[in-house]
Amino acid sequence: MAKKDSSITFPLNDLLKGKSSHTLALFNHFVDEYKKIGAIALRPAKTMIGIATSRKRVAYVTQLGKDFIHVVFPFEQAYPDNLCFQKIAQVPGDAKQFNHHFRMYAKEDVNQEVKKFMKLAYQLGK
């Protein structure tokens, strides 16, 4: 069986094609807010868009819906005391990864609490 080539990248435009103007505005706002924290790179893959520091991916845009974007922050521990994550789930078989799911419907959803976790993910990924 052939090994997958992990160096294959997908054009960002392919993932954004056909998305509503509202969804694109949300995506661009989220990326712009991350850029205020520090230098990031977008790493498009087949089904998601990674947001990375120079060392590792710190968040994943996993869904570009009709009127929302869905972002997953992988942390090594759960942060249950918050109002911004709709779900926190431990990755099966991985004792050190807890995915924190954030759904953004409006630009205002990237509030101080969300920015705190964006910054934490960035700092842990440096």
**Domain residue ranges of the chain, discontinuous segments joined by +:** 12-124
For 32, half-sphere exposure in the C-beta direction (CA atoms, 13 angstrom radius) is: 8
State the number of CA atoms in the 13 A half-sphere of 1 facing the CB: 1
- The answer to whether residues 50 and 42 touch, using CB atoms and an 8 Å cutoff, is yes
Q: What is the pLDDT, as a whole number, of residue 8?
A: 52
The CATH class for the domain spanning 12-124 reads alpha beta
**Average pLDDT for consecutive 10-residue bins of the chain (126 residues)?**
50 91 97 97 94 96 97 97 96 93 98 98 94
Please list, residue by residue across 78-88, b when 16 or more beta carbons sit within 10 angstroms of its beta carbon and e when fewer do.
Answer: eeeeeebbeeb
Task: At 11, list the tokens.
Answer: 């054009």
**Which among 116, 112, 117, 124 is positioned nearest to 101, based on CA atoms?**
117
